[in-house]
Structure 1
Amino acid sequence: MPVDQRFEATLAAPFSVSGRGLHTNRFARVTVAPAPPGHGIRFDVAGAGAVGLSHENRAPSRLNTALRLPDGTTLRTIEHLAASLSAFGVDNALVRIEGREMPIFDGSARDWCAAITQAGIAIQTSSRRMLRITQPIQVAMGQRFVRAEPAAALELDVTCESYYAGGVQAWRGSPTDKVFVTELAASRSSGQVSRLWTFGPVTNRLMAPLLRPIGRQTAVERTGEPAANAAWPDLPTALTDEIRAGMAHPRGEPVLRGVRPGRAAIQIGPWVLGGARFPDERVRHNALDLLGDLTLAGRPLVGRIVAHRPTHKLTYAFVATLMQSPDAYEVVEA
């Protein structure tokens, strides 16, 4: 969001885009339109009804963030648009969709940012109400965790281990509109080629040497490598049964059917097909997804969000736990 934004904002004009989904490979048409103050971000799906962007409306889904629609179906892969709207400080918008999954484009948020920039931002008359973190709160699962700490503005501090390339990647900063566009938006969803597609035995043998991870003992010596963020052991995780149920993966839903070169960063061992856009593209996309998933809180956050290897379901669990912990935040006017 813009650093000094005190009032709610919407788009100055509507825009429309279209494309295929990452998981379903189905085509969708999307129009994002201005909305009045207090409206929030709402998704209106043709034939399925409208729903607000909230952790209460989030639906379990694998490798993406989805919303449960009034007819019982889901709208998948909303996180890239949600992150882009958040970074540009858009509080109110009506998103109309013909389809059940948002377009993935090239796997990044670059096209969403371009469309928002062209549409423009309109500042509204209502004061912005935000969630300010008042005390640390954390959700951890093994080495993965998301933690919020008090801070004067929204800050992200994200690390991940680059298993195949060796070492730790880190991105730390405030995701303002300018920072988001220049540092995060172009980073892409990624996956190992061996996990995306099935090959025959001959191809598997030929590819095996390429898929071996580069261990620390054989990697080129790195200087100044960042340290991985660590969970606070004295800040325990207490998930309700309802939140745990929301973290389960549904059976039978299509996954990664739309992956193609040009729609994601396809990794072959430590290499990216066609080249990486950033040396640390993976952690930058982790930060992008984290920002999008944090919008499930329903209001802009003010606080420092620290995470290591965050996933969509872990961030959902964090947001849901935060919203059930009134001592950890307060609603304030910007």
Structure 2
Amino acid sequence: MEKTQKSFINVALVGYGYWGPNLLRVFSECDAVKVLWCCDKRVERLKIVKRKFPAVKTTRKIENILQDDKVDAVIIATPLSTHFILAKKILLFNKHVWLEKPMTENSAQAAQLIALAKSKNKVLFVDHIFLYTQPVSYLKKIIDENVIGKIYHLDSSRINLGLFQPDTNVIWDLAIHDITIMLYLFGKNPKSVFAFGNSHIRKGLDDTAYLRFTFDKKTSAYIRVSWLSPLKIRRTIISGNKKMILYDDLETSEKVKIYDYRVSINKNYKPWSSTSGYQYRTGDIHTPALENKEALKTACEHFIDCILRNKIPLTSGEAGLNCVKILEAASFSLKNKGAEQIL
């Protein structure tokens, strides 16, 4: 990628729907950024932008952004079905790209964007937002430091009521978060995936799903996602042979708890004996003090730093492609009644 001599970046936002307002707010607050444009097809949404951000120019046509040589980077926060065509256009006009998750509808599209970004020497960033949270960064640190030991098992639940998406199922909408967290914490890809689910509300659109990932003989991961829950749950449990972790993203202050809990087998254990063959360690519970910094701000700063300093993002196009490949495999398994898909 080319190194820029600029000290700030001019950006444009395409899509002012569910996530767009957060993006516009955070990028507008970033010291090294000036937001020049906001594009959306809906006039009523652009009126809101003008009222809240009068200095930002609004348009219904992306061509106005593409043809503005002052724009260095474009943030895409539109439906998944539009990601590829928009990102391709923007890269062809020699601008850096921020893509919301998932990166693209399929891995072939993602690979094309990666190749195009490289040929244009531009940053291609995928907003896997949870990798920029303080809890996940902390978990990565202690796992890499072997605090919990050998990882046996990850179990994650991400369920709530809605929001049903127009062009993607619950795996692509919700499970992608847990998959990216799993990949980041484990530092490697799973060997296979099994996926089970059902479409209860709209035919052909799975609204509930269960995913099982295998890594090696003693490591596995399970992810449950649903748009049909009266309760909102964002909880991950990671069990190791030294300690165990509870990560609850809905907790306001104590999102991460480290349990000095473990299970072992007595040396004289006999398979046919009773439950007395096991030893259970239940020690202290540690709750680390974590900085309360907005993840989107951290991601924004990282994106700008990558442009200014010629760096590869933590959530690069390659990382986005890897996740899309896993989503494709899970979707294929889902359609084939949970058939194992080798990754």
- TM-score of the two chains, using structure 1 as the length reference: 0.29
Q: Which has the larger radius of gyration?
A: 2
Higher helix share: 2
- The one of the two structures with greater contact order (alpha-carbon pairs below 8 A, sep at least 6) is 1
- TM-score of the two chains, using structure 2 as the length reference: 0.29
